[in-house]
Amino acid sequence: MKKIAIIFHSAHGHTEFIARQVQQGAREVEGIEAELVRAEDLRRTPEALLDHDAYILGSPTYLGGVSGPFKSFMDATGGLWAGQRLRGRLAAGFTVSSLPAGDKQSTLLSMFVFAMQHGLVWVGNPILPEQHRGVPYDEAANRLGSWSGLMAQAGHASAPDAFVPGDLKTARLFGRHVAQSLQRWHGPERVEIDRLGSESAAPVAEAAS
């Protein structure tokens, strides 16, 4: 059984709702457990990340980046970073905002940079926008056009579940894709990958500030 942690922050429920769709998609894949974890909780117990094989990061986009609570969770992983203890696992990301573009790409890029610092391998959202094949816009997978990760758009001041069918479909496909990629990454006779540049186990202190 391979385990995915879907780590999210959600102030008003929208991001959590999308997280649940991603979870549902991941659970469609045999041999995969997918658990929802609140970033605020994980901030206090970052070592719990060691129990998972892949991480799907989810945050609303606030002013072009992840939310403050989500960033505080990220910062809490500094000790794991210093020992590169998550190295070689998988990561992916998603974000939610009230606009079609809405600077969501910069949020996904910041999740990617974080994942790279931890030595994770990044899986995207490889879906050709279905409206280009005649599917109605609101029902189309990847209708917003995002490959680095999943984007979803919540209507302004809307209910937490007020997403169009296309975004729900995309979220489930995305969750399934990450889960399948994880299965593939853990093929039964996989090559062990070296731990580079970290022969010494001594943890180093975090970056200056």
**Is 201 a residue that touches a second copy (CB under 8 A)?**
no
Identified binder of a second copy from the candidate list 4, 5, 7, 9, rule CB under 8 A: 9
- Of 1 and 207, CB closest to a second copy: 207
Identified binder of a second copy from the candidate list 74, 150, 164, 168, rule CB under 8 A: 74
- Of 5 and 111, CB closest to a second copy: 111
Which residue has 């093929």 as its token pair? Answer: 187
Question: Per-residue x/- mask for a second copy, residues 92 to 121, rule CB under 8 A?
Answer: ----xxxxxxxxxxx--xx-xxx-xxxxxx
Q: Dihedral of the CA atoms 26, 137, 11, 44 (nearest 10)?
A: 30
Interface positions, 131-160, toward a second copy (CB under 8 A)? 131-133, 141-148, 151, 154-158
Cβ(185)–Cβ(123) below 8 Å: no
**Is 52 a residue that touches a second copy (CB under 8 A)?**
no
**Is 123 a residue that touches a second copy (CB under 8 A)?**
yes
Which tokens belong to 184? 């593939």
**Is 181 a residue that touches a second copy (CB under 8 A)?**
yes
Which residue has 């769709």 as its token pair? Answer: 21
CB atoms within 10 A of CB 67: 21
Of the CA atoms within 13 Å of residue 41, those in its CB half-sphere come to: 10
